[in-house]
Amino acid sequence: MQRFFLLILGVLISSLASASNKDNWDLFSDIGAYGLVGLAAGLPAYQEDWEGVWQAGLSIGSASAIGLVGKHTIDAPRPDGSDNKSFPSNHTANAFASATTLYIRHGWQVGLTAYGVATLVGVGRVQADKHYWRDVAAGAAIGVFTGWMFTDKLDPNVQLLPWASSQGAGISMTYVW
């Protein structure tokens, strides 16, 4: 698994060679951010870790919500002049929320690679003239904050499973000792 993540990081870094113009940086930051979101939810789903899926969704969703409130509250023009919703960077917030969730839930090997990609997402947003460094720093802080707030370390002995029926819904907890 560690080799797989290092391979992904290598491919992303090597793609930076072609990221010499703003459009390529913009595309790279889209792929990096959405890829991390998919990985943060997809890896626990693949492992049938439904609590991890829930925590990833809560972390990323909260980061996105905080970012959207900031964008609609703070009048901050983008470097390219396209609109006044520059602060904070939601791409970066989502990337760092995903990376933090992956770090806490799956360990430093996965987290280190994810943080590397998240950092490159932030660099890409600045290089694409979509954000200033302050926007990216704020987005990173929001993402790290929500990741730490809503993610617990994976404990293979504990499993929470949501359930629903015509009579109600709930969460079932299983603990193996």
Cα–Cα distances (Å) from 16 to 25, 79, 126, 130, 132, in that order, read: 8, 21, 14, 17, 19
Give the Cα separation of 70 and 87 in Å (integer): 6
Give the Cα separation of 8 and 46 in Å (integer): 18
Record the tokens describing residue 167, joined without a space: 């009579």
β-partners of residue 174 are 159
Q: What does the buried/exposed string (b/e) look like for 68-98 if buried means 16 or more CB atoms within 10 Å of the residue's CB?
A: eebbeeeebebeeeeeebbbbbbbbbbbbbb
Q: What is the pTM of this model?
A: 0.78
- Tens-of-pLDDT digits for all 177 residues of the chain? 556 655 655 655 555 555 567 778 888 888 889 999 999 999 999 888 898 999 999 999 999 999 999 999 999 999 988 889 989 999 999 999 999 999 999 888 888 889 999 999 999 999 999 999 999 999 999 999 999 999 888 765 555 556 666 776 666 656 566
What are the boundaries of each domain within the chain?
Answer: 2-175
Q: Helix, strand, or coil here: 63?
A: helix
